[in-house]
A and B are shown apart, each in its own frame.
Chain A
Amino acid sequence: MMDHLPQRVVRWRTAAGALLIVLVLTQGCANLSAVREFANISTESAQYTRLVDDYVEWPTSQKRYQPPDQYALLDHIARDRAAQRERLLLYHALIEEYMDALGRLAADEVVVYDKELDALGNAAKEKKFADAKEAGAFRAVAKVLVKGATDRWRQKQLKELIATSNEPFQVVVNSLRVIVEKGFAGDLLDETAAIQSYYRTLIRDSRDKAGIAALEEWRDLHLAGVDTQAKAIELYARILKKIGEGHQKLYDGRNDLSKELLVRDMNRYSRDLKLLFNTIRTL
């Protein structure tokens, strides 16, 4: 009886030690679904590049409201914009890639080692290092340990990514928002004025009532098209603002990404982004 006591103590100590390790490691298994959701909808939103195409094609489309002696200048502006196209698309692509990486680091399904761990458990059993019961336990503990270790490591990476990227991310997202709000929206202000001016001149010179009515219809049709584009620009600027604000929230709460208040905030940002993005897609 006395001989068995030290062995039992050793077993209990070993078991308690293993349990402690498991508990410590499983503490890393935080729920990052809110971060993942926000990253995913941001990734999807960044893929919306129709406004860049409109911006590049805009000078050419303005030829319809201007006399031929202005075409050379409009072609020159169109060439400058075509040269900017790739850089603008790179801004979209970078936000998309960054958010995709953020979402992957916050994802549960990034690493699924079950197959490998089952194989490891079976190998241990087959090679007589463990009986069937022990091999099952070995497999189960190994799964928890590996998941805990990788989750903790991943969260550390995620936290570091958010911490080091927030400043440049805010600059990149904000600069794209400025381009959308001032550059793309500025085009539409001028186009509205150009349409009004063009049709006013035509209508003033016309004596035909039916012709005037037709011209007014065309004018209204073009103005409606500009209104739709303006709505898309306004929505996209709001999307970029939400993405920037959401990332700032992540930065502020990076030390505890599964904190209830932060999760609630991130869920709200995701809901808002989804609503805005679904609306812009219908335009």
Chain B
Amino acid sequence: MALTSAEAFDLSRWFGDLSTELEQYCDAQWDHLSSDQRQSLKNAELTLRNTASTLRTRAVGLVLDETEVSFNTLQKSTERAKGAIKTLKTVGKVITVATAAVGLAAAIASKDVGAIGKNAKSLYDAATANV
């Protein structure tokens, strides 16, 4: 059975606490322990503490894995929202195009060929300009 992030965090804490208890026991019994026993207990203390770190690192990775679907969903929503903001900005472009169109309409109404060409170019420039 695969380990969950919550289980990995619990195990990590359990190993960490065990390491601390071992260290406190070692300290309290120091004068009654042989050199080999002291060394052995110190090694066990470090091994347990580093096992706790390994499990904690694994737990963090599991949290990231377990929430990947939600992460991707939120990422898509955020991209959509950014698209909506961009759309709002393009409304400004629509109005600019409308302004240019007013000029072209007037030129067409006046049948001024030169003005039609000039205003048509303005409209084209407005429509194709970057927002």
Contacts and interface: CB of A to CB of B under 8 A. Distances in A.
Interface of A: 55, 59, 62, 66-67, 70, 73-74, 76-77, 80-81, 84, 87-88, 90-91, 94, 97-98, 101-102, 104-105, 110-113, 116-117, 119-120, 123-124, 126-129, 146, 150, 153-154, 157, 161, 164-165, 167-169, 171-172, 175, 178-179, 182-183, 186-187, 189-190, 193-194, 196-197, 200-201, 204
Interface majority SS (helix, strand, loop, mixed), chain A: helix
Contacts of A104: 81, 85
B32 interface: no
B57 A171 contact: no
B37 interface: no
Report which residue of A55, A88, A197 has the largest number of chain B beta carbons within 10 angstroms of its beta carbon: A197
Contacts of B20: 193
B50 to A, nearest CB: 5
A88 B63 CA distance: 10
A43 to B, nearest CB: 12
26 contacts: A55-B60, A70-B46, A73-B54, A74-B53, A80-B61, A101-B85, A111-B89, A117-B95, A120-B102, A123-B103, A126-B106, A128-B106, A146-B95, A150-B91, A161-B77, A161-B81, A165-B73, A165-B77, A168-B69, A168-B71, A169-B74, A186-B13, A190-B49, A193-B16, A196-B23, A197-B23
B57 A80 contact: yes
Interface of B: 5, 9, 12-13, 16, 19-20, 23, 27, 30, 42, 45-46, 49-50, 52-54, 56-61, 63-64, 66-67, 69-71, 73-75, 77-78, 80-82, 84-85, 88-89, 91-92, 95-96, 98-100, 102-103, 105-106
Given A80-B58, A172-B70, 7 more contacts: A101-B82, A129-B102, A165-B78, A167-B73, A169-B74, A186-B13, A186-B16
A144 B27 CA distance: 78
Contacts of A84: 57, 60-61, 64
Q: Which of A74, A146, A165, A186 has the most CB of B within 10 A?
A: A186
B106 to A, nearest CB: 3
Given A110-B85, A127-B103, A171 B9 contact: no
A175 B99 contact: no
Sort A-B residue pairs by CB-CB distance and give the 9 closest, nearest first. Answer: A127-B106, A171-B70, A101-B81, A116-B95, A168-B70, A168-B74, A168-B73, A175-B67, A123-B102
